[in-house]
Amino acid sequence: MIKVIADSTCNLSQETLDQYDIRIAPIPIQFGDETFEEGVDIDRDLFYKKIEETGIMPTSSQPTPAWFGRYYKELHQQGHSILVITVTGKHSGTYNSANMAKSLAPDADVHVFDSKSISLGT
């Protein structure tokens, strides 16, 4: 079976995530010294509230190769092939992190796809 990992910028509905059993790689968001994982410990409402309260414009990063590697190993051990869909590699390091992580699970059948888009939208 093929399992899909997508990064949180895809903005898929919970219904779609559940229906297709898609795992989300959360994008780290930094407000000064505080780091949150998009969709895990910060949602859209809290994001805008923090901007309003602090006046800080947040920055973002990408999931680490270690994050991807952990799930590549887990899904491989369960007998799955893996398709990773990322935000465009032109604007984010997520695509590179997902590719680098292949070396952490060399036996896993992993295919990383650059969506060449910013967001699916909601």
- Whether the CB-CB separation of 102 and 74 falls below 8 Å is answered with no
Share of the chain above pLDDT 70, in %: 97
CATH architecture of the domain with range 1-26+63-122? 3-Layer(aba) Sandwich (3.40)
Say if residue 122's pLDDT is above 80: no
Contact call for residues 101 and 76 (beta carbons, < 8 A): no
What does the pLDDT look like over 62-88, one tens digit per residue? 999 999 999 999 999 999 999 999 988
> Please, what's the b/e burial string for 9-31 (b: 16 or more CB within 10 A of its CB; e: otherwise)?
bbebeeeebeeeebebbbbbbeb
For residue 8, what is the DSSP state?
G
What angle (nearest 5°) sits at the alpha carbon of residue 45, between those of residues 91 and 40?
Answer: 65
44: which 2 tokens? 């859209």
Q: Does pLDDT of 53 surpass 60?
A: yes
Q: Which one is predicted more confidently, 89 or 36?
A: 36
The answer to whether the pTM exceeds 0.75 is yes
